Amino acid sequence: MSVKVKICGLRRAEDILSVNRHRPDYAGFILTQGFRRSITAEDFKELVSQLDKGIKSVGVFVNEPIDSLRDSFAPYLDVIQLHGNENDEYISQLREFFKGEIWKAVRAKTAADIEAADRLSAHRLLIDSFVEGVAGGTGKTADTAVIMAAEFSKPFLLAGGIDVENAVTLAKELRPFGLDISSSVETDSFKDDDKIRRMISLIKEET
């Protein structure tokens, strides 16, 4: 069975057309403000309304207030991905109103970082590269030695610097649940339809 594919950082109607055409498993939207690919709640609602129902919507948040999640985003999402310092108390509050999956991102500097995230009550992990002071989206490949040294049980998605040159190797070496793709399917900082097509075809055919 192929590794799942998430295309993240969707911002435009053209991006939605591309993912609807090429069929990743997940479509990601950066919904906390202040990041290069962030979009407003209004733009998100318009975009997600155009997303094919067979593709799951993922909202990416960094220390977002619970009220904001509940009132502005949760009804439109299949998955909530947490990229900040959210703890089990935060996740428990989310579960009171959100019935989809909760993913917890971990910037893997050490194996202990992954193991600590694994103890949280999220459904899956998203393991990203560690860059000091940056919450994610760096384009830097995660340290595979750190991941392989960690003892953890949750299925995980791998993020950070995944491109057509390394995607298959990383998938076979680390056996993730999914690959989270963003910057490598962009040209001039915008999603590129042909790069999305090539990436998804490669992963689906070779993993």
CATH code for the domain defined by 4-206:
3.20.20.70
pLDDT in tens, 152-163: 999 999 998 899
This prediction has a pTM of 0.94
Pick from 150, 158, 153: nearest CA to 105:
158
CB–CB of 104/82 below 8 Å? yes
Percent of the chain with pLDDT over 90: 89
Tokens linked to 54: 């067979």
Rounded CA separation 49/76 (Å)? 8
CA atoms within 13 A on the CB side of 72: 16
> Band of the pLDDT at 131, cuts 50, 70, 90?
low
Average pLDDT (98-113) is 95
147: left (phi over 0), alpha (psi -120 to 50) or beta: alpha
What pLDDT does residue 143 have? 85
What pLDDT does residue 2 have? 87
Q: What is the DSSP string of 132-149?
A: TT--S---PPP-HHHHHH
pLDDT at 121 exceeding the cut of 80: yes
SS3 at position 7:
strand
Task: Please report which helix (H) or strand (E) contains residue 125, including its range.
Answer: strand 124-128
pLDDT at 141 exceeding the cut of 60: yes
Tokens linked to 110: 């050490």
Average pLDDT (30-43) is 96
pLDDT in tens, 46-75: 999 999 999 999 999 999 999 999 999 999
CB–CB of 5/25 below 8 Å? yes
pLDDT at 123 exceeding the cut of 60: yes
Q: What share of the chain is helix, strand, coil (3-state, %, to 5)?
A: 40, 20, 40
Lowest mean pLDDT among 36-40, 135-139, 150-154, 178-182: 135-139
CB–CB of 27/51 below 8 Å? yes
